[in-house]
Structure 1
Amino acid sequence: MIRATVRRGGDDGAGVSASGPLWSRTVEIDDAEAAAAVGGGELCWLAPSCEIAGWGVALRTPVDGVRRREVAADVIAHQLSTIVADNGATPATTTLPQLDAAPAPAPPGARPVAFASLSFDAGASGSVAVVPRTTVQRRGGRAWVTTVADRPVTAADVRLPPRTPEVGATGRVRYAGTTAAEIAWIEAVDRAVRRIRAGDVEKVVLARDRLVYSDEPFDLPRVLARLHARFPSCYTFRVEGLVGASPELLIRRAGAAVTSLVLAGTARRGADPEEDRRIGAQLESSTKDLAEHRPAVDSVRATLTPLVSDLDVEPRPHLLRLANVQHLATHVTGRLHTPTDALSLATRLHPTAAVGGTPTDRALQVIAELETIDRGRYAGPVGWVDAAGDGEFAIALRCAQFDDTAASARLFAGAGIVADSLPESELEETRLKLRAMQSAL
């Protein structure tokens, strides 16, 4: 079953059925103004390459169903590419069919964008793409504000949204336990290890959650700011209640160039530089962690090979050090020879072995049998795509799904299980990963 009902944003934000064209106008603004605004976006993406924030809903599309790859390509990319820009052009027409053609009329930061967040399970509900009414983008010291509407947009219509007042101090954070007890998760890991050793599957990623609530709503812009300050090299996001800071870049498309950063294999940080170096060296030489990392790289390589030329995969992983953990990381780069937008690339790559396992189909079956939680959009693609098909998608890790009141949330973490995995060590790894969101709350 496919659900791909396009909804227009109404005054109440609920949306009405789409008909007729959408129009956009972009104005360049002072970067300092943009910097003050982006953290308060209802939709947000803060990354080393760019910062993007959105307010309101011009277009909202559920992207559910097992054929969501086709839905994403046909509905989202089409809707974005046909938005009529202020110069009367459709800004994607020169860049999607001809990747090496002349640059698009609008610079990258001045194009309409859609934020997207997809569920881990393609058959689950909740996947969505949203074109904001107002978007602010920052790139390389320049900034733009774009307004999208169902009528021609004048320069007077383009303005920064009013600043949202801070919620202030929230109530005390309370922990309400987990969907499954820790001992039950350890037993699931043990069963997974036995299956791997029996040859039933090569690698399985098992996730668990932690439930939190507060007497007052959490201040989501403040949570976002804390995550971005502590993990500046990560991809910090907020899309329809899903908030997090992921270190793992699923895919970036900039013209013909594509980049992926594969992470698998984790260790804690040391108490001092010497211990940190020792732990990192152990991680780089760990048979268990290299066995976890290799399938994740291979899955990205296999997906991109038919689509790109000059595929370059780092010969061995390097260390990516974050505030709380360090990972084995491998860069994968190439140049597209088939015109494919960033969202479609993300749906092709998902799920990588870093969040599912290998072989993919069997690993997903084992996850369904052993995991007791609904992942929702945890470990699914999250990011943005613009009217030219460029964009960035991370894997939604180190995140929490807040409810509609923002007063309760589910925090998620997972671990890759291979033949040499020790259940208690994997549990400790998830505890380390959960601390990223816990500290932000």
Structure 2
Amino acid sequence: MTAAALTSPAAASRSVTTVRSDAAGELLDLLPARGGLSWVRHGEGLVGWGEAARLEVSGPRALASAAAWWADYTAGLDVADELGVPGSGPVLFASIAFDPDAGTSVFVVPEVVVGRRDGVGWVTALGTAPELPEPVPHDEGPAPRLRYADGAMDPARWCAAVSAAVSRIDAGDLEKVVLARDLLVSADVPLDPRRILRRMAARFPGCWTFAVDGLLGATPELLLRRTGRQLSCRVLAGTAPRGAGAEDQRLAAALLNSEKDRGEHALAVDSLVRALEPYCRKLSAPAEPELLTLANVRHLATDVVGTQRGSAGLLELVGAVHPTAAVCGTPTPDAAALIGELEGMDRGRYAGPVGWLDAAGDGEFGLALRCAELVGDDGARLFAGCGIVAGSDPAAELAETQSKFAAFQAALEG
């Protein structure tokens, strides 16, 4: 295991104060130009900035090490919290590698957090008196001029990889594998993460708009929420494009009745339920999926809820359920090996857990989807993936990745 931690002088006072403040407008408008942290949905959630402490960690015990580090960090804090709700008091933002053993996961304790839950707002500050900042003016300016380039694979090579995966599935080697591709973009001016986040949130208000250490996006998939002993998840697998008028409804009905997509979805739900069962005294999932409608695509969706037993912390639970079949495949070891063989790229933190954790152990983690990693001031690496099962058509899967890229491209180009 490798780890590197940095604690700033601001954390040395060990004091954390949370006060109620309902004056904040749009949370994303408070973010600074660089280094902002976000977890916002329907205008509620958390934003933060400044680094009171930071941990970068990898290796077989990465998440256990992060949990121990966070417990040690919070143990000595002098906390004054007027609200005592999930997300108030000290908060840790996290962006975990798709493969925590090999990739680097990043954990950041912000110096200032502004939150809102059920219409109630608050400000948390480390070492200083909490004070609500002025919103950052919307200086959109002209849209940047963008240049795109293939990432690890061009479309033809990626389609060949999908064909190879289908052949392996047909041979009985595995049931499903998720293959992703990346797309590189460069701009003629520095990219403004605030602009991107605001546009993503406006287009996808029902998604969780996130930003942690240069990885930002809007994910529709909730990997795991913990509130006290209550656990909840939203599983997505099976995707269809949107259409116009009657065509849109035809596509929706086709997705809901697709044997291929329903089979893919069932694998994702089953993998999550199997992973959570040892930690729950009660766990339930509906027998039939629902349709989740977004601006650019539809997904089959299932909400899983449970009641935790035992003393496992949220990061341990996250480690137990990740990677699900929705982002890796089934069986997990075989799918992960095939991803390494066929995908041709390092996912980094794409498709890994992203979210936040508070000192009481409550928190929310999604999967880093519909996202990009900022590279320097004027570049980004976009990601999109598809679940490959028996009967998958490479051309259709390529079109699905292009639909998913379009979500982030619209935020860049608008």
| 1:173-199 Cα deviation digits (max 9, x unpaired) | 111233211000000000000000101
Matches within 5 A, 1:221-260: 221-260=194-233
Matches within 5 A, 1:352-363: 352-363=324-335
Q: How many residues align?
A: 409
Secondary structure class of the residue paired with 2:100: coil
Q: Give the CA deviation at 1:161.
A: 4.1
Equivalent position of 1:8 in the other structure: 7
Of Structure 1 and Structure 2, the greater strand share is in 2
Q: Give the CA deviation at 1:34.
A: 6.4
Secondary structure class of the residue paired with 1:277: helix
* Aligned counterpart in structure 1 of residue 168 of structure 2, from 181, 195, 198: 195
The CA distance in 1 between the partners of 2:250 and 2:203, in whole Å, is: 23
The AA in structure 1 aligned to 2:67 is: A
The AA in structure 1 aligned to 2:57 is: V
Q: Give the CA deviation at 1:201.
A: 1.3
Secondary structure class of the residue paired with 2:150: coil
The CA distance in 2 between the partners of 1:373 and 1:125, in whole Å, is: 12
Q: Give the CA deviation at 1:275.
A: 2.2
Q: Give the CA deviation at 1:113.
A: 0.7
Q: State whether structure 2 residue 304 is matched by structure 1 residue 332.
A: yes
Change (3 A) 1:178 1:419: same
Change (3 A) 1:197 1:82: farther
Q: State whether structure 2 residue 293 is matched by structure 1 residue 321.
A: yes
Q: Give the CA deviation at 1:126.
A: 2.9
Unmatched runs of 5 consecutive residues or more in structure 1: 12-17, 88-103
Question: TM-score if structure 1 supplies the norm length?
Answer: 0.88
Q: Give the CA deviation at 1:270.
A: 2.1
Indicate conservation of the 8 Å contact 2:28/2:198, yes or no: no
Secondary structure class of the residue paired with 2:311: coil
The CA distance in 1 between the partners of 2:63 and 2:152, in whole Å, is: 30
Change (3 A) 1:77 1:249: farther
Question: TM-score if structure 2 supplies the norm length?
Answer: 0.93
The CA distance in 2 between the partners of 1:293 and 1:342, in whole Å, is: 25
Q: Give the CA deviation at 1:33.
A: 4.7
The CA distance in 2 between the partners of 1:5 and 1:158, in whole Å, is: 29
The AA in structure 2 aligned to 1:226 is: R
Equivalent position of 1:310 in the other structure: 282
Change (3 A) 1:48 1:339: farther
Equivalent position of 1:420 in the other structure: 391
The AA in structure 2 aligned to 1:7 is: L
The AA in structure 1 aligned to 2:19 is: V
Q: State whether structure 2 residue 67 is matched by structure 1 residue 63.
A: no
Indicate conservation of the 8 Å contact 1:80/1:113, yes or no: no
Secondary structure class of the residue paired with 2:216: strand
Indicate conservation of the 8 Å contact 2:225/2:231, yes or no: yes
Secondary structure class of the residue paired with 2:80: coil
RMSD: 2.0
Indicate conservation of the 8 Å contact 2:37/2:49, yes or no: yes
Equivalent position of 1:74 in the other structure: 68
The CA distance in 2 between the partners of 1:110 and 1:28, in whole Å, is: 10
Secondary structure class of the residue paired with 1:110: coil
The CA distance in 1 between the partners of 2:244 and 2:115, in whole Å, is: 38
Secondary structure class of the residue paired with 2:17: strand
Equivalent position of 1:159 in the other structure: 131
Matches within 5 A, 1:370-385: 370-385=342-357
The AA in structure 1 aligned to 2:162 is: V
* Aligned counterpart in structure 1 of residue 124 of structure 2, from 146, 158, 162: 146
The AA in structure 2 aligned to 1:342 is: L
Secondary structure class of the residue paired with 1:63: strand
